[in-house]
Amino acid sequence: MRILANIVALCALIAFTTQPLFAQSILRDAETEALLRDMAAPLVEASGLEPGNVDIVLVNDPAINAFVAGGQVVYLHSGLIDAADTANEVQGVIAHEIGHITGGHITRFDEGAKGATGVSILSLLIAVAAAAAGAGDAAMGAVMAGQRAALGKFLAFTRVQESSADAAGAQFLSDAGISGRGSLTFFGKLQNQEFRYGRSQDDEAGFSRTHPLSGDRIARLREVYTADPAWDTPDDPQLQARFMRIKAKLSGYLAEPNRTLSNFPESRTDVAAHYARAYAYHKDSRMDMALAEVDALLALDPEDPYFLELKGQVLLESGRAQEALPPLRKATELTNSQPLIASIFGHALIATEDESNLPEAENVLRAAVSRDRLNPFAWYQLGKTYAAQGDVPRAQLATAEQQVLNRDYGRALQSALSAEASLPEGTADWLRAQDITLQARAAMERIRDES
């Protein structure tokens, strides 16, 4: 029976999982989100999906990867942005991922898993019979062979989906009038990665691939793209300029300061270099040098809201909250109260510790969360504003909003119950406290059932 137990344990160990790992953090930045939204907009329209219903989310992960995981959300790794040289390359990736959404590939995931499970169960039954007959080695061999067959069946299913998404993405690029040059270039980079890390192109070594081989994809898509009328369409120069800013900004924020300063030396005076160095100096607590780089940016364009946002952020995090208010107020006005920028402005108003600023902070933060309810930082700051003004029930409600977004369901439940007990019955805030109570309880029950 020990052999049988080992077989069952092995099957459990290598069973397929249907949920991606969300250990990475989400990177949120107003300028980056605006760029990704503008890059995706023509592709979303070409796909037939409702404009504004597809979100592009940036994940803090150095791997060169992108994925969809249910709903109409495309996740891009920061490593992909770093590896891409053009906005057009990233648009090729986004088009491919939208192909997964329109193809319903996430909802059809169980089809592939079901077929693989059938093969796996059959091998397990054979193994149980062999174990009962005393043939332990044969039993283990049956399980391993069966699991390999199951894995092959499942991965063949995913490779078909990837090829389908390739074709759909190519069509979306074409319909949007966007060249497929970037898509081919990016696949070439993936192929170079395969060669660099010694990944063979033969079928045996590619058995465990979830994607078709990059060389095969390039050959197949080259025929499609080069024949497309959009092939010779030049890249959008404004989109490319914005993309280079974002690459530099991301590098300055994520990379070690020494590496950033090496890649963007003082001899460079372009926008991207100033941006990267400003973040590097800020990260290295050299605030005066960070402010000098931001001032150089503002000298180029004093009305750029993202330059103003950065100046306000550096001042705020230098303990100079009062000085941060003018650039942050102006950035908020120029972006029509963009929620991420407005939440920093609200934070700065609170940080001045001037009670006369609290009503403005409340208005700014209420506007921010009304437009972006998935912003725990804004909810936290709004809770602080309510608490500072003595409005404890609404402070508890804002805290519950923040806690449920952070998946702290136990504390969210307690905060929501406390808010509900004190808020006027029947009001919008009272009803919202009830909603959070139900949401937190349902999430806690789901977690218990899964454990």
- What confidence score (pLDDT) does residue 317 get? 95
- What confidence score (pLDDT) does residue 17 get? 32
pLDDT confidence of 71, banded at 50, 70, 90? confident
- What confidence score (pLDDT) does residue 198 get? 56
Which position has the higher pLDDT, 388 or 51? 388
Closest listed residue to residue 87, CA positions, set 233, 243, 272: 243
Given a cut of 80, is residue 109 above it in pLDDT?
Answer: no
pLDDT digits (tens, 9 = 90+) for 218-262: 888 899 999 999 999 999 999 999 999 999 999 999 999 999 999
437, 443, 448, 451: CA torsion to nearest 10:
-160
Which position has the higher pLDDT, 192 or 266? 266
- Given the structure tokens 């992108």, which residue do they identify? 66
pLDDT confidence of 191, banded at 50, 70, 90? confident
C-alpha distance from residue 421 to each of 326, 361, 431 (Å): 39, 26, 11
- What confidence score (pLDDT) does residue 111 get? 52
- DSSP per-residue letters across 194-210: HHHTT---STTTTTT-S
DSSP state of 357: G
Size (the chain), residues:
451
pLDDT confidence of 105, banded at 50, 70, 90? low
Q: What is the CA radius of gyration of the chain?
A: 26
- What confidence score (pLDDT) does residue 154 get? 38
- What confidence score (pLDDT) does residue 245 get? 97
At a CB cut-off of 8 Å and minimum separation 6, what does 232 contact? Answer: 179
pLDDT confidence of 193, banded at 50, 70, 90? confident
Determine how many CB atoms are found less than 10 A away from the CB of residue 451: 5
CA distance 232 to 120: 49
Please state whether beta strands 55-59 and 26-27 pair in parallel, antiparallel, or not at all (unpaired). Answer: antiparallel
Closest listed residue to residue 106, CA positions, set 130, 84, 74, 136: 74
- What confidence score (pLDDT) does residue 53 get? 85
pLDDT digits (tens, 9 = 90+) for 331-372: 999 999 999 999 999 999 999 999 999 999 999 999 999 999
pLDDT confidence of 196, banded at 50, 70, 90? low
Closest listed residue to residue 119, CA positions, set 208, 15, 4, 203: 15
C-alpha distance from residue 449 to each of 15, 285, 413 (Å): 19, 46, 18
CA distance 291 to 314: 7
